[in-house]
């Protein structure tokens, strides 16, 4: 079913692109040759160009805007943020070539469409700079903070509800992340969201990589891609195969970080597994207000299974537990875990997509997987976006022209699908040694089933740490721990609800 859906989506995108260029199916061969000739001649037009006369014009609602060649300033994170810096608004030397090409093409479309010039302003602290701008000169047309910082600005009353621009920002279109729109709204208000423009949101999506050499060379280990194709990639499959690989391989007595392990897991991935099971920390009531959703009978069983995996010394090593014992051999303990994959010492390694960049330092054959299901009764795979460091688009109350800011946000989203997002897929698949067919199917599952957990964005008491705390415990403490934090969590939720109600 997933493959069919993916093929349908691809077909839709292709047909939309062809329609936007005024093409018909009978001239595909001629048009392809023409496009190649244009590219080689370095003309200003290509298949991504906008057209003034087409029946399926995704930019029709934006064509009345004319920003009179003014510079549009977008506030983003600078290089001091390491793995989680902005790389999506302007091209940068450390971006992959394909991604830079996609960014240049996307920006040209937006600039020609709106008659403007895009400029990014890179700072270490977007929250602080945004507050200064909101209370001051209103220099920035769009701000792109991490989602928890956007939530802070929203509660402070500094952001404009994106729904107010319904004639400009088409939030129901596929270039906006529909799950983000659903998960991030409160009381029908959406002060920040994301879409195909946000490479950092893609990069912050959690997944698992597996080492193909260990799969091939270890007796009894199942092909993870076959498990995924058969819809049998589950918690039990993860643990079953991880146990077969773990061995004392470094020549020293006792198991250490330098041995071969079935599963390198980071502490935060325990919450990812909980979300991957289909459970949630929070949900929504009939008024679109957040409510606690974690206290279910099934959730208790899920947490106990996660605790079993996390504490199984025959299969699992916890990445952070070795942070102080590696002696500066690696830049950090997470890179050390990547090195274990690259050196064929890790069958599975939990990670964010951004960590794939580091695997290019190693000559290793690997694949990528979504977070496993709890069991094969589960209908879907769910992959959380680590929203703590995921970027989003906001428009604050003191911008020069709110409607022009909205037009830029919409144009960036709409123009990114066939440029930036497509380039990202090409780079992840080809530039990072993931075979096209199997890797693309896995990435489709990952990116088409992303979710956002409000508890990790709004800091509802200790709720965001509940699963990791229970997973690390030596006994089952889920029920008692939840009861101990329930009152404070409910109060934190009430505070957020009150802040949104006060906005009217």
1 versus 214: which is more confidently predicted? 214
Asked if the model's pLDDT at residue 42 lies above 90, the reply is no
Q: How far apart are CA 116 and CA 136, in angstroms?
A: 23
Q: Which two tokens stand for residue 260?
A: 């071969």
472: CB partners within 8 A, 6+ apart: 267, 270, 310, 311
Torsion of CA 181, 186, 187, 188, to 10 degrees: -10
Chain mean position to CA 19: 29
Closest CA to 174 of 197, 190, 156, 191: 197
Helix axes 97-114, 402-416, angle to 10 degrees: 140
**Confidence (pTM):** 0.85
Question: How many CA within 13 A on the CB side of residue 468?
Answer: 14
Q: How confident is the model at residue 13 (pLDDT cuts 50, 70, 90)?
A: very low
CA distances from 240 to 244, 323, 348, 473 (A): 7, 27, 12, 22
Q: What percent of the chain has pLDDT over 70?
A: 88
Give phi and psi for 324, each to the nearest 5. Answer: -95, 0
| Separation between Cα atoms, residue 473 and residue 475, nearest integer Å | 5
Which residue did the predictor score with more confidence, 467 or 55? 467
Distance CA 400, CA 406 (A): 11
Q: Which residue's entry shows tokens 């920002």?
A: 169
Alpha-carbon distance 301 to 273, whole Å? 12
What architecture (CATH level 2) is domain 208-384+461-485? 3-Layer(aba) Sandwich (3.40)
Question: Which residues contact residue 486 at a Cβ distance below 8 angstroms, ignoring those fewer than 6 apart?
Answer: 292, 295
- Write down the pLDDT at residue 35: 40
The most confident of 259-263, 456-460, 500-504, by mean pLDDT: 259-263
| 426 has pLDDT over 90 | no
CA distances from 277 to 292, 294, 317, 372 (A): 17, 12, 21, 7
Among 321, 360, 325, CA closest to 342: 360
Query: From CA 105, how far away is CA 82, in angstroms rounded?
Result: 25
pLDDT at position 55: 58
226 pLDDT higher than 50: yes
User: What phi, psi does 61 have (nearest 5°)?
Assistant: -80, -5
Q: CB of 112 within 8 A of CB of 126?
A: no
**pLDDT score for 380:** 95
pLDDT at 390 over 70: yes
DSSP state of 362: S
* pLDDT of amino acid 503: 83
Q: Can you state the angle between helices 436-448 and 2-20, rounded to 10 degrees?
A: 90
Q: How confident is the model at residue 439 (pLDDT cuts 50, 70, 90)?
A: confident
Burial class (CB in 10 A: 0-12, 13-18, 19+), 156: exposed
Superfamily of domain 44-203+387-433 in the CATH hierarchy: Periplasmic binding protein-like II (3.40.190.10)
d(CA 85, CA 95): 11
Mean pLDDT computed over every residue of the chain: 89
Instruction: Report which of 197, 102, 110, 176 is spatially closest to residue 423, judged by C-alpha positions.
Output: 102
DSSP result, 72-97: EEEEEE-GGGGGGS--SSS--TTS-H
Do 44-203+387-433 and 208-384+461-485 have matching folds? yes
Query: CA distances (Å), 493 to each of 326, 393, 462, 477, in order?
Result: 40, 23, 12, 23
Contacts of 318 (CB under 8 A, 6+ apart): 265, 266, 267, 310
Q: Decide if pLDDT at 346 tops 70.
A: yes
Going by C-beta distance under 8 Å and a sequence separation of 6 or more, which residues neighbour residue 254?
A: 248
**186 φ/ψ angles, rounded to the nearest 5 degrees:** -140, 130
**Neighbour tally for 375: CB within 10 Å:** 15
CA geometry: angle at 110 spanning 105 and 114, to 5°?
150
146 SS3 class: strand
Domain boundaries, the chain: 44-203+387-433, 208-384+461-485
Average pLDDT of the segment spanning 45-71: 77
- The Cα 77–Cα 137 span in angstroms is 20
Over range 305-314, report the average pLDDT. 97
Alpha helices in 196-318 (DSSP H): 199-203, 212-217, 224-229, 235-245, 269-276, 297-310
């Amino acid at each position: 079913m997933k493959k069919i859906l993916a093929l349908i989506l691809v077909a839709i995108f292709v047909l939309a692109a062809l329609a936007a260029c005024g093409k018909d199916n009978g001239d595909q061969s001629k048009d392809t040759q023409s496009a190649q000739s244009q590219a080689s001649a370095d003309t200003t037009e290509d298949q991504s160009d906008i057209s003034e006369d087409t029946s399926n014009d995704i930019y029709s609602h934006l064509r009345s805007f004319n920003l009179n060649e003014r510079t549009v300033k977008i506030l983003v994170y600078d290089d001091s943020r390491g793995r989680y810096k902005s790389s999506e608004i302007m091209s940068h030397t450390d971006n992959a070539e394909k991604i830079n090409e996609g960014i240049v093409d996307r920006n040209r479309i937006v600039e020609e469409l709106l008659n403007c010039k895009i400029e990014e302003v890179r700072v270490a602290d977007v929250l602080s700079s945004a507050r200064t701008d909101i209370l001051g000169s209103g220099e920035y047309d769009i701000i792109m903070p991490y989602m928890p910082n956007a939530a802070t600005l929203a509660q402070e009353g500094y952001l404009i509800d994106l729904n107010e621009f319904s004639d400009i920002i088409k939030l129901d279109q596929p270039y906006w992340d529909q799950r983000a729109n659903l998960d991030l709204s409160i009381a029908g208000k959406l002060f920040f969201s994301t879409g195909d423009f946000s490479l950092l949101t893609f990069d912050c999506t959690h997944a698992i990589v597996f080492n193909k050499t260990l799969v091939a060379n270890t007796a009894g280990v199942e092909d993870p891609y076959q498990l995924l194709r058969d819809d049998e990639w589950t918690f039990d499959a993860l643990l079953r195969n991880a146990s077969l690989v773990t061995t004392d391989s470094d020549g020293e007595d006792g198991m250490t970080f330098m041995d071969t392990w079935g599963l390198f897991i980071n502490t935060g991935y325990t919450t990812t597994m909980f979300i991957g099971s289909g459970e949630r920390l929070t949900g929504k009531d009939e008024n679109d207000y957040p409510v606690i959703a974690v206290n279910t009978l099934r959730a208790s069983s899920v947490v106990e299974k996660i605790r079993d995996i996390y504490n199984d010394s025959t299969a699992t090593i916890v990445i952070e537990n070795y942070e102080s014992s590696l002696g500066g051999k690696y830049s950090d303990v997470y890179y050390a875990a990547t090195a274990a994959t690259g050196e064929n010492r890790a069958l599975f390694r939990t990670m964010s997509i951004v960590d794939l960049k580091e695997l290019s330092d190693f000559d290793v054959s690997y694949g990528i997987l979504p977070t496993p299901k709890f069991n094969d009764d589960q209908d879907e795979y769910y992959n959380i976006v680590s929203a703590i460091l995921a970027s989003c688009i906001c428009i604050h109350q003191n911008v020069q022209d709110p409607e022009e800011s909205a037009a830029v946000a919409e144009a960036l989203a709409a123009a990114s699908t066939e440029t930036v997002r497509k380039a990202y897929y090409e780079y992840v698949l080809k530039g990072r040694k993931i075979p096209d067919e199997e890797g693309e199917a896995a990435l489709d599952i990952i990116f088409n089933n992303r979710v956002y957990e409000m508890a990790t964005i709004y800091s509802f008491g200790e709720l965001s740490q509940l699963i990791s705390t229970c997973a690390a415990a030596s006994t089952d403490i889920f029920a008692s721990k939840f009861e101990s934090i329930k009152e404070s969590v409910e109060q934190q939720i009430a505070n957020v609800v009150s802040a949104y109600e006060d906005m009217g």
